[in-house]
Amino acid sequence: MTGETDDIHASFSAEVRSVVIYQPFPGLSMSCPMNSQSIKNQSVRVETVSSDHDGQRLDNFLARHLKGVPKKAIYRMIRTGQVRINSGRCKPDRRVSTGDQVRIPPARIDAHGQVRVSDAVIRQVREAILFEDADYLVVDKPCGMAVHSGSHLPWGLIDAIRQGRPDKYVELAHRLDRETSGCLVLAKNGKALRHLSNLFRDGEVEKHYLCLMDGQLKEDRVTVDEALARSEDQEERKMEVHDEGKDSITRFRRLQLLRDSTYVEAELLTGRTHQIRAHAAHLGLPLAGDERYGTDSSLARWKKRGLRRLFLHSHHLGFTNAAGDHLTFNAPLPDSLRQVLLDLGA
Q: Which residues are catalytic?
A: 177
Choose among 149, 186, 147, 146: nearest CA to 169. 186
Largest CA distance in the chain: 66
* DSSP three-state, residue 23: coil
Between CA 307 and CA 189 the distance in angstroms is 38
Between CA 112 and CA 205 the distance in angstroms is 38
Q: What share of the chain is helix, strand, coil (3-state, %, to 5)?
A: 25, 30, 45
Contact indicator for 183, 130 with CB cutoff of 8 Å? yes
- Strand pairing category for 181-187 and 312-320: parallel
Neighbouring CB atoms inside 10 A of 201's CB total 10
Angle at 103 between CA 101 and CA 109, to 5 degrees: 135
Neighbouring CB atoms inside 10 A of 301's CB total 15
Choose among 104, 145, 271, 302: nearest CA to 203. 271
Cα 64 to Cα 4, 53, 60: the distances in Å are 30, 10, 7
